[in-house]
A and B are shown apart, each in its own frame.
Chain A
Amino acid sequence: MTSIDVRNLTKEYGTRRAVDDLTFRVLPGRVTGFLGPNGAGKSTTMRLLLGLDRPTSGTATIGGRPYPTLDEPLRHVGALLDAQAAHGSRTGRDHLRALAASNRLPARRVEEVLEETGLASVARRRVKTYSLGMRQRLGIAAALLGDPEVVLLDEPSNGLDPEGIVWVRELVRRLAGEGRTVLVSSHLMNETASFADHLVVLGRGRLLTDMPMRDFIDARVQPRVRVRTTDDPALETLLAQRGLDAERHQDGHWTVHHARVDDIGRLASGAGLPLLELASEEGTLEQAYFDLTATETEFTARPQEARR
């Protein structure tokens, strides 16, 4: 089992704490979404995991070992950190060939990942002619080169077209399905919601949440019911009698907070109220995230800095 273990990890740049006493685990077989606003410390944590930056204190290990002690690390861990990393004057294929050579990976892996990431037709073109989306695919190709058990992707959907975003989603789901450990950072909620099983949320370098995505949403977002009727005043009276908090929207439907469809359905039917529409509104990751960030001093205490 190859999990990522971050323990009491702290990184200071001068007086600024980019990562502040962070402790969490990333387990295999599921996609862990790594969330937080820009500057929350996601990329720094990934660099610390790869031994690229030295922690001020604490440890980060992969499969129980610090990354720099791994022999031929690309066979164990694949990472996409920055799509601009490949030299513009080199071809995509040569970029991957050099990486493969450094870890004694067979040359056929280069052709395989080029095929897998849809870059085979542009592999012999220089990277400077690539679009941002193609560079992103090249970075993902590099991450997959060694067929690693652990995959770290920092903002993989950046610059991808809609088709590419769906491709990344299916890719990370497949990697997790194969039992690999997958950590994917993002600041886009809807995107993360589409592939994550588990969430690790950072705010200003500190751990805010480490739990399954479904639990996170359920704990943060109260159930709501969407209802529409022909008789608005009757519905309003009915809901008010029960002490239910509801609001009417411009287009004529109501949102009942802290309620379930079963209750509202029975209530309306008991009162003989004709319903045109009755549905439960699923909480979204975005709602849960903003509920979390609204309560966290990390975001509210110093809004100037948080926005930066």
Chain B
Amino acid sequence: MTFAPALHAEWIKIRTLRSLCGALLAVFVATTAFSALAGASDTSDPGLDPLFTALSGVIPGQIAAISFGAMAVASEFHGGALRVTLAATPRRGRWFAAKATAIAVPSLVVGLATALAALLAARAGLGGAADGLTADEQTRAVVGCGVYLMLMSLFAAGLAALLRSGVGTLSLLIPFILVVSFVIGDKTGTAADFLPDKAGQVVLYETHDGPLGPWTGLAVTALWSALALLAGGWSVRRRDA
């Protein structure tokens, strides 16, 4: 059995659940709305990073991306759904790879569209404050933002497979993102720079002064996501369904 049929099945399962389509829509709406708001209100601060301001909606928006990844996996852990899935696709590693791909592709596509819309919406409010941004910087941030949203949903997907619970995953990740990163705040040069969300967000800034650059930061987040997926995949392979 090859990979394509498993991927096809997982793609059908994702697009036929309204809650998952709703989560992707929420990524777009929340990120764009909060970015537009930030662009319209925040222009007086001289230390402002106009690029991050334009994409700051991704901070609340990523919660929807995390929910998408967590729920897409957690739907398999309800009432024996995983048994039906694994009876149809008994090669578990292949199945989990298909699941992760079916989560990654729509979150990347929605993430890229979201980042572009957020940038445009915020620039409408920022006006002259954003004039210094180069095309390269903006392209890098939009692509990076899309990849970041994808990586965060994959991180959540891996954790959900490990914990076998969407609620468990969200109650771990959402406080982590809202509280821990917020408390540590803008201080750089600490281990916090290497947290999955902080590291990946470097790509959203026009200037950065931490140990990580835009792409190395994303690579660190990718490493976190890969670790979570490996742990989740290991759990799926090893445990009784």
Contacts and interface: CB of A to CB of B under 8 A. Distances in A.
B241 A102 contact: no
A104 B4 CA distance: 9
B81 A87 contact: yes
Contacts of A68: 90-91
A1 B87 CA distance: 21
Interface stretch (B15-23, B38-46, B196-204): B15-23
Interface stretch (B6-14, B134-142, B216-224): B6-14
A172 interface: no
Given A47-B240, A71-B1, A90-B17, A102 B9 contact: yes
Contacts, number: 91
A74 B9 CA distance: 13
A205 to B, nearest CB: 16
A94 interface: yes
A47 B83 contact: yes
A73 B83 CA distance: 13
A151 interface: no
A244 interface: no
A85 B83 CA distance: 8
B238 to A, nearest CB: 9
Contacts of B17: 87, 89-90
Interface residues of A, number: 34
A50 interface: yes
A55 to B, nearest CB: 10
A82 B88 contact: no
Interface stretch (B58-66, B72-80, B123-131, B152-160): B72-80
A77 B88 CA distance: 9
A24 interface: no
14 contacts: A51-B86, A52-B241, A69-B90, A73-B90, A74-B87, A85-B83, A85-B84, A89-B19, A90-B13, A94-B12, A98-B13, A102-B85, A102-B88, A104-B5
B89 interface: yes
Nearest to A93: B16
B10 to A, nearest CB: 8
A24 to B, nearest CB: 21
A50 B13 CA distance: 22
A81 B87 CA distance: 10
A137 to B, nearest CB: 15
Contacts of A97: 12, 16
Contact of A89 (B18, B80, B90, B241): B18
Given A94-B16, A101-B8, A67 B90 contact: yes
| Among B8, B83, B87, B90, residue most surrounded by chain A Cβ atoms (within 10 Å) | B87
B5 A103 contact: yes
A54 B5 CA distance: 25
Contacts of A69: 90
A221 interface: no
